[in-house]
Structure 1
Amino acid sequence: MSLEPKPVDASAKQAADAKASLLLRKAEGSYAFPVLDSVGNQFARSLRDLIRALGAPTVQIEREAAVQMRFTDWCQAVSPGLFWRYHAPPLKGPVLLATARPLLLQLVDIFYGGKGQLAGEREELTDAEERFAARLGRDMGQQLAAAWKMGIEPELDCVTSDPAKLAAVRGDDELLVQRFTLRGGVFEGRTILCAYPQAALRGIAGAEPVPEMRDGPAIDPAWTATLNRALKTVRVPVRSVLARPEISLVKLLSLEVGDIIPLTIPRNVPVTVAGRSFASGSIGESNGNAAILIETVEKGSDDE
């Protein structure tokens, strides 16, 4: 009996590849997670808005491409740091956030009316700073959930300055790490790191892609026709300016009843619709009424 493996049918392999999740791709012996780019972009915007709301209205955030690194190296990159761990099913492992302790102290100072200047380094956090760290962690967890858009809802279960307390992650475990760098003022160069254990990401490789990557829903022709009919009955104001005379302030102040202001009416006058330029035409008469003969229609941009 031959134990040689049977050749894989090419069409079957292509079909399997086509069904592969956008979250996970295997290439050259390593894994890539394309969806993390869009997740990172959304999370960067949310972080920016969150930090601005805390009292730093000019801060900007730059996202760097995800890199692979060991858990031990990641901890050293933010030492002395503050770590947030999230339970985030269906991930088969935690989501981790970290930042250097000075950033948290600056945020606390600004939140309570200061300018984000550090008085000095210290190892222990005050009770108020610990409460702020927990609140900040919950807020960032909500921003992460919104960025994923696929049922992953990180729930904060640990805030610590000791990476040894981040259970379920070992020193040699490989993480996929996204770095978010703050720009502007006292925060210049400060970073927040978001890490996903690669084993946890591979565990949801069969998950559906985020909604923005799915094919758009089919358009209902009946709904479209109804909308078009409704739009055609909307009434909009149409106006034309026949003349814009200018007179001196002295003459304006001396005007009396019976005085005449001379007008010079151009051959072509503008026609506006709802305040926007629509066409131009010449003044005339139609059925005994003053009228404008449309001679040219303005061409707007593609999105107008």
Structure 2
Amino acid sequence: MDNIEQQLAARLGRVHARQRLGIEAERGHHVFGRGLNFFHPENWYSAHALIRYAIQLVGMYERGQRNARNLQVKKNPLHLPHLPKAFHDFKILHLTDLHVDMDERNLNALIQTVADLHYDICVLTGDYRARTFGEIEGAVAGMQRLVLMLKQPVYGILGNHDSVRMLPALESMGIIMLMNEATVLEREGAQIFLAGVDDPHYFRVDNLEKAAQHIPQDAVSLLLSHTPEIYRLAAHADFDVMLCGHTHGGQICLPGGIPLTLDSKCPRYMGAGKWRYQHMQGYTSVGAGTSIVNARFNCPPEVTIHHLLQA
């Protein structure tokens, strides 16, 4: 057992650490099969250049890159019937699918966008790296630059692009990583709970039972998941709110924001923005970064501020 495996086993438990590291060590990420989805276009690297060439051929690549830097600040009110009075007007900055090593200009635009925002906590719902395998140093360096501009506390989870070997570095920056775990948020003597699961989409190492085991039944609880695909399980686990990303809202969409694909095994209405399933409120951010090709059309990138309000 190497040193990183020992660290991760101590932090996550032996089985979780070996599952994550074992799948990462397999020969290449699969394009077909594995994960919740059958088709994983983010792992089909021979297609990335083809898509980029096609956009360049029609003279739209520069425009698509400019679109990728045109970050929007979205605001999402969340009315919660049992929210403690102390948490009324509580604001959560939600960042996802940053892919910070994809393009330096995208990262600079993100840093400038978040610098002057007002919020109480920040949550990160995964995909810090551009590729799904290989070196992690570029993503770690980019995250270090970004975290310096974020107000603490910052909570995070990993996505399908991320290596679990990034965990020690992310935690050393001050990010409180929730790996099938929950934490208590306290304000003026009142409490709500924030839980997070490891990637459900490709690695399938999420464990909602473990994440929720110490959350009281009547407490307000929020769940961080990289993807909306576990919405049924989350709702039946009694989470009040689920915050996620992964879909990029399609990233390259038809006019009107109609996605060509969402790379997500969930109803299309959950592909972007606010949604509800049974009693649970959800929000799927289209993300701040780009994947596969550094371009966006009819789907601008976003950072989101969720505003907790008493119903």
TM over 0.5: no
Larger Rg: 1
Q: Taking structure 2 as the reference length, what is the TM-score of the superposition?
A: 0.24
**Greater relative contact order: 1 or 2 (C-alpha under 8 angstroms, separation 6 or more)?**
2
Q: Taking structure 1 as the reference length, what is the TM-score of the superposition?
A: 0.24
